[in-house]
Each structure stands twice: as structure tokens, then as C-alpha cells.
Chain A
Amino acid sequence: MSEAWQAELDELALRREASQRLGGAEAVDKHHRQHRLTVRERIDGVVDAGSFTEVGSLTGQGRYEGGRLTGVTPAPYVMGLAKIDGRPVAIGGEDFTVRGGTSWSGDRKKGGQGGFVEDLAHQYRIPLVNLIDGAGGSVTSIQRRGHAVFPGVHGFERSVQLLGEVPVVCAVMGTAAGGPAGRAILSHWSVMVKDTSHVFAAGPPVVERSLGQKVTKEELGGPQIAVVEAGTIHDVADSEAACFDMIRRYLSYMPQNVWELPPTGERSDPVDRCDDALRSIVPENRRRPYDMRRIVRAIADRDSVFELQPLFGKALITCLARMNGTVVGFIANNPMVYGGAMDVKAARKQSHFMELCDCFHIPIVFLVDVPGFMVGKDAEAAATLREGMRAVYVSLQVSVPIYTVVVRKCYGMAGMGTTDKNGLDFKLAWPSAEWGSLPIEGGVAAAFRREIQAAPDPKLREAEIEAELRASASPFRTAEAFGVEEIIDPRETRPILCSFIAAARNRLATTLGPKPKYGVPP
């Protein structure tokens, strides 16, 4: 007995089954042997169990015998709608087991630049997760189409638009070159996987032909270059599974789009928790560095700290965290690296993080210990001054509140970039704080050169002048003049910040939406 439409439903089942098989058992086995998961396994690994609703599952190349379907090679991209922590996301990735995840020419693109998955994120204002595993265009497309495609026909315009609308996360899961590599950069946060992923503008064969350089994929675009040295990608995961956890964690701090506030987390850590350790972490000897990350952890909600770019620009620490459940961005100078001086990498990291927080209406807490811009010939050659001033420029453009907490040093132009000049300009300082246009020990020798040289014991005179100036530079004297709004016991940092951050919610909730950009950043 045959049901209505039975033949058609059988064909649908056959086509769906083919799409589940990806590039076939042999190709999938080979992929697994290289310790890589398939795109379907990856999507399942990232999203809530059973939440993936695929779109475009029938796409591909059908094979027919006498008009009857015998099989389908699926399109090398899998995508759709899913949920992460109960919230909808658009997610997709190349299927490396079908022609190495190269592009496919259907009537409409599924993924990549301008694909359906990007339209889904844009139209529904939900985050986009790109699982990248493809090398982009192939010269064989000229043969297929009969003409060469002009760059930008499938352009980045939607990818760029998304960066001002919804959180975009890109995970480089395999080798990414060309367009897919470009897309990895057009994200708010990107991650790659140790040993199995690489990212570059062009791979070793092109490099050898262009420059005669022989390099391995790992040397050219492994995490040591892409994450640690260049900061091209924001972080590296130890395994694909760890990578999926990191994606979920990052998105847990993000709103669905710029028209909403970030989700409020648990409020289980008491607002009035005053950690005694905060009194003793900063050494009295001002030449001694200390562990700034301990300070961040002591102030933020317990276990809420997620560090971004931990391996790049290590003179600066950037973390997403929560304060009484409200998402905040922590920026902290790291005295362990060049005394926290801002170098070109730290400046880039700070600019990006401030723009990220501004875009998604996340208030910023700045724990300041910065002696200024990094000095020296290498620093100048690397354009520290320009990139550092760009960070200052960005700090003057953001409209989220910036809470300045001066832990120790706050000097010079880098120090200017730590305050909320366009907002309340609310600055707290610990008793260990010191500030000025430049550190006393550097300035005395130059400013009092004649007096020091004329003294019977120049070294002694220099030390005397330093001691005199240091007494006048006490933070309490600036507080007398209301040049800093409050000096606090370090233990009180959390309760004070929590109350001001909670009070800022009214402002944040009434200034939602995309942030217009103007001017020409230096």
C-alpha cells in the first residue's frame, strides 16, 4: 500500500541521508585520522544538544541515471540556526571532506562572504559563529565559469556590516587562506586550534613561488605566529573540544545584538565582599612588579573572569568578567612586562578591546599601572607613538562608562587613555597610586640638570630632589584638590565599583543601538 507523496518523501529521505554522509566514509575517516572533527560534529560540539536546525541540507550536485536520482555530493558548507545557552545563533562551517571545503556555485551562497548564514545573523540580529576550514577560491573556478571573478563580487560588505550589529565569532578549525582567512579577521573574537589549524593570507606554495622562501604551514601560520607574535587571531585552544567551550564562554558575555544589553549573570558573589589580599598585593617597593591578574580576580565576581588575547601584547591584560552579574570589561596594565609600559601590541590590544566594549555597551574598569608609552629605538620603529595615540583616541571616542582605578603608576599620554574624559571622568585611586606627566625618577635628572651637576655630591642632590618631589606627589594632595575623585582602601574596590556599575545601567539601557563612528583615527 503506498502513501500519498511516498516517492517524493523517499527522495527527500535519500537526499537528506546523502548530506549527512558529507564527502563519504573514506574522506571522513581520513579527516578523523588527522585528529579533526567533521563540520557536523563541530556544530554539535558548539551548540546546545539537539538545537541545530539545518538550512540548505539538500544543496549539492545530484547524480542521475535516466532521470532517476542515484546519489548527491553535498555542497561543501553546512549551516543553519541553533542555540547556545538557550539563545539563538547563526552557525556554519566549510566541509573539508567535500573538495577541501572550496567554494561551490549554487544559486545562492550558503556561507562565506554574503552567504545565507550571514543574512540570517543580520536579519534576525543574532550572533554569527563561523567554523572556518577552507582555503578559499581555486583557479579551477575560471574553468568552471568561463571567466575570472572580479574581487569583491562575493564581497565582505555584509561581514563588515555585521561587526557593528551582532557578535561575530570565527574559529579557524583547519587551514585558512584567502577569503576564509580574511573572514576570520572580520570577527569580534577569533580562535584557532593547536597543531591542526593554520591561518595566512597565502600558504607555503604561494610563498615559495613568490619569494623563494621555504616555510612550513606551522612556521607561516601556526599559533606561535598568528596568536603570539602577530595577534592576527585572538587565542589558541588545545583541542577542538576546548575551542567549542571557549566559543560558548565568549558568547555568554555578549548581548544578542547592539540593540540589547548583555545578559545579566548569576548574582551569587556578595557585592560587599572585600578581599583582604588587595591590601598587600602591591609591594611597597615601587620597583617590584606584582600579579595584576590576582587583583582582577579578587575584584570581579568569583570565577567570572575570561581573559582575551592572553598571549599577545602581554604588557596589557584584557578580560571580560562580571560585577554583581553585570558584564564588564577589565583592562589592566601588567607590571611584569616592561613595568606595564604601553608598547605597540598592548596599544592595539587596548584599542580593540575598548571598541568591543563600546560596541556592545559593556562598561569598562581600567586598573591602571602604566609608566607611559614604551621607549627606545625598537619602540619608535614599531610606531608605538602612533598606535599608542590611537589607543588614546579610541578612549576619547567610547561612550560607555570607564571606571579608572589607579593601582600604582599613571603617567603621561598612556595614562590619559585610561580615563573617561567624555563621561563622568570618575577616578578612584589606591593609596599606592602615583601620577604625573612623567615619572619623577626619569624627570629629575633632566629638569634639574644644572643644580645636580653643581652640587658637591650630584647623586645625593638628585636623590634629595626626588624625595622632595615625591612628598608633594602624594595622591592625597591631588585628592585635596579634587583632581582625583576618591582614594580608597583597596579592599573597598569591589563594593564601590559594583554600586556605580549598577547605577550606570539606566544610562546604558537608554543609549542602545549601533555606535556611529566619525573622524580619522591616527
Chain B
Amino acid sequence: MAGVELKADVTGSVWKILATAGQQLAPGDTVMILESMKMEIPVIAEDGGTVAEIRVTEGSPVTEGQVVAVVTG
């Protein structure tokens, strides 16, 4: 099954990664928290699923629209 790509809403950096590959997520669970403009911006798996891939590491910079994780349904 094709994965859902979770994208960064904002340009900033990865502050905390909360989920790990293989983990089951309920709809609305937070996968990671980005930091931008001194704000914590959550990356949320709207539909839940299984974490297939985390593409960033804590502290790494991200740009708006960048795929940061993939979740399969």
C-alpha cells in the first residue's frame, strides 16, 4: 500500500522526533515537532497508520513542503 507523505508546513528545524519506524499511530498522533519562528509546530498523522520511514533527524533543517516522514495506512 502506498504511503502518505507527511510534509513540513514550515521552514525551520526538527526539534523532537516522537515516533519511530514501525510504530502504530492513531489518527491525529504527532510524529515529530518542528521549530520555526520560536514556535513548536507539530507534524501530525491525520489518518494514523504505521510509520514506514522517518526522513529527518533531530536538529536537522527542513524547508516548507519537505517530506519528513512516510506513513502507510
Q: Which of A58-66, A142-150, A269-277, A331-339 interfaces with chain B?
A: A331-339
A371 and B42 alpha carbons, distance in the complex (Å): 18
CB under 8 Å from chain A, chain B span 1-57: 9-11, 36-42
CB under 8 Å from chain B, chain A span 427-486: 439, 441-442
A341 and B42 alpha carbons, distance in the complex (Å): 17
| Partner pick for B38 among A337, A339, A374, A376, CB 8 A cutoff | A339
Task: Enumerate chain A residues within 8 angstroms of B39, measured Cβ to Cβ.
Answer: 287-289, 335, 338-339
Task: Enumerate chain B residues within 8 angstroms of A289, measured Cβ to Cβ.
Answer: 39-42
CB under 8 Å from chain B, chain A span 242-301: 285, 287-289
Chain B, interface size category, equals: 10 to 19
Chain A nearest CB: distance from B25 CB in Å?
Answer: 19
Q: Nearest chain-A residue to B40 (Cβ)?
A: A287
Task: Enumerate chain B residues within 8 angstroms of A335, measured Cβ to Cβ.
Answer: 39
Task: Enumerate chain B residues within 8 angstroms of A287, measured Cβ to Cβ.
Answer: 38-40
What is the total number of residues of chain A having a CB less than 8 Å from a CB of chain B?
A: 18
B40 touches A338 (CB 8 A): no
Given contacts A336-B9, A337-B9, A338-B10, contact A288 B36 (CB under 8 A): no
A371 touches B40 (CB 8 A): no
A287 and B11 alpha carbons, distance in the complex (Å): 16
A336 touches B41 (CB 8 A): yes
A441 touches B40 (CB 8 A): no
Given contacts A337-B9, A337-B10, A338-B10, contact A288 B40 (CB under 8 A): yes
Chain B nearest CB: distance from A256 CB in Å?
Answer: 40
A337 and B11 alpha carbons, distance in the complex (Å): 10
Given contacts A336-B9, A338-B10, contact A439 B38 (CB under 8 A): yes
Task: Enumerate chain A residues within 8 angstroms of B40, measured Cβ to Cβ.
Answer: 285, 287-289
A371 touches B38 (CB 8 A): yes
A337 and B65 alpha carbons, distance in the complex (Å): 12
Q: Nearest chain-B residue to A378 (Cβ)?
A: B11
Task: Enumerate chain B residues within 8 angstroms of A341, measured Cβ to Cβ.
Answer: 37
Task: Enumerate chain A residues within 8 angstroms of B37, measured Cβ to Cβ.
Answer: 338-339, 341, 371, 374-375
A233 and B39 alpha carbons, distance in the complex (Å): 30
Chain A nearest CB: distance from B43 CB in Å?
Answer: 11
Chain A nearest CB: distance from B9 CB in Å?
Answer: 6
A501-521 toward B: CB 8 Å interface, digit per residue (1/0)?
A: 000000000000000000000
Between A and B, 28 residue pairs with Cβ closer than 8 Å are: A285-B40, A287-B38, A287-B39, A287-B40, A288-B39, A288-B40, A289-B39, A289-B40, A289-B41, A289-B42, A335-B39, A336-B41, A337-B9, A337-B10, A338-B37, A338-B39, A339-B36, A339-B38, A339-B39, A341-B37, A371-B37, A371-B38, A374-B37, A375-B37, A376-B11, A439-B38, A441-B38, A442-B38
